[in-house]
Amino acid sequence: MARPKPAAKPRSTKLTHTVDDFEAAFWPDEHPVDNAVVMTMGALHEGHAALIRAARRQVGRDGRVAVTVFVNPLQFGPNEDLDRYPRTLAADVRLAEENGADVVFAPLPEEVYPNGEPLVRLTAGPMGERFEGASRPGHFDGMLTVVAKLLHITDPDYAFFGEKDAQQLAVIQRMVADLDFDVEIVGVPTVREPDGLALSSRNRYLSEAEREQALALSGALFAGRDAGAQGPAAVRAAAAEVLKAADGVELDYLALIDPHDFVEAPDDFQGEAVLAVAAKVGATRLIDNVRIIVR
């Protein structure tokens, strides 16, 4: 009779804070195995868990998965939430472990920027000046600069990013292509609450009433997606109508985007597009998007 298989040995995830300790933990021997990184700003939730699980599936049981946890000051504007951004490292390490990470790299800013703020930075160019970039000047340059640094430190075969930050994913893909980074960028679909709200670390800022009001973002995107067969104008109108009727939502932008070069889709656009929204609910700025087929 076949003996029952022993339960898989739980992985024990190593928490590291310095580049040296990270490298020793992530590259423990000379056997080359596939490896992957999931970059985060911490306050991990099920959206991050989906990225870590996708990374584990990609590299297999014997591959290595790193999760970085770093709230990058360079990508925050002067009036943004850098100081109050949620920091929950102990819980983050547990979530990383439960979802198959080998190593968590949680450096201090001094470790990432030992010479202070970098004088030389990457720029996202025009792709980083629209939509999120228009509302958050310098955000994508700061984000790309740290992503490039973390790619150099972790040196992965694969790096996983969420489609929830669609413009970020597009800009990173463009950086890797334009500057010949030797890594495969993998996008992971947005994880939502059962009622449609996209998971986000910033959802913790919302009161119960604001949490309800925030459903207008995904509601607008789903209404736009349902109008996809009637063309771009109908998509925009259907989504705008939901937002107009919503209480407590201060719209920043609603855009139908051609994912190639991430520009506003022309009125005769057909094909796969990204419908994106950004809005303030109370004091909290949220973003969301869906992929839609426009005909």
Ligand X SMILES: Nc1ncnc2c1ncn2[C@@H]1O[C@H](COP(=O)(O)OP(=O)(O)OP(=O)(O)O)[C@@H](O)[C@H]1O
Ligand Y SMILES: CC(C)(CO)[C@@H](O)C(=O)[O-]
Q: List residues with catalytic annotation.
A: 48
Q: How many residues bind ligand Y (CB under 6 A)?
A: 10
Under the criterion CB under 6 A, does residue 16 sit at the interface with ligand BAL? no
Q: Position of tokens 């992503």?
A: 147
With respect to ligand Y, which residue has the nearer C-beta, 122 or 227? 122
* Sign (positive or negative) of CA dihedral 206, 48, 132, 226: negative
Q: Nearest to ligand Y by Cβ — which residue? A: 39
Under the criterion CB under 6 A, does residue 165 sit at the interface with ligand BAL? yes
119, 118, 112, 171: which is closest to 140 by C-alpha?
A: 171
With respect to ligand X, which residue has the nearer C-beta, 159 or 292? 159
Per-residue HEC secondary structure of the chain comes to: CCCCCCCCCCCCCEEECCHHHHHHHHCCCCCCCCEEEEEECCCCCHHHHHHHHHHHHHHCCCCEEEEEECCCHHHCCCCCCCCCCCCCHHHHHHHHHHCCCCEEECCCHHHHCCCCCCCCCCCCHHHHCCCHHHHCCCHHHHHHHHHHHHHHHHCCCEEEEEHHHHHHHHHHHHHHHHCCCCCEEEEECCCECCCCCECCHHHHHCCHHHHHHCHHHHHHHHHHHHCHHHCHHHHHHHHHHHHHCCCCEEEEEEEEEECCCCEECCCCCCEEEEEEEEEEECCEEEEEEEEEEEC
Under the criterion CB under 6 A, does residue 41 sit at the interface with ligand Y? yes
147 binds, among ligand X, ligand Y, ligand BAL, none (CB under 5 to 8 A by kind): ligand Y
CB of 75 to ligand BAL, least distance (A): 5
* Joined tokens for residue 195: 């009622």
146 binds, among ligand Y, ligand BAL, ligand X, none (CB under 5 to 8 A by kind): ligand Y
Residues 164-183 that bind ligand X (CB under 6 A): 164-165
Residues 66-105 that bind ligand Y (CB under 6 A): 72, 75
Stretch that binds ligand Y, among 1-9, 39-47, 52-60, 123-131 (CB under 6 A): 39-47
50 binds, among ligand Y, ligand X, ligand BAL, none (CB under 5 to 8 A by kind): ligand X
Q: Is 43 annotated as a binding residue?
A: yes
188 binds, among ligand BAL, ligand Y, ligand X, none (CB under 5 to 8 A by kind): ligand X
Under the criterion CB under 6 A, does residue 146 sit at the interface with ligand Y? yes
Residues 61-90 that bind ligand BAL (CB under 6 A): 75
Q: Is 144 annotated as a binding residue?
A: no
CB of 29 to ligand X, least distance (A): 29
CB of 18 to ligand Y, least distance (A): 18
Would you tell me which residues interact with ligand Y (CB under 6 A)? Answer: 39-41, 72, 75, 143, 146-147, 165, 168
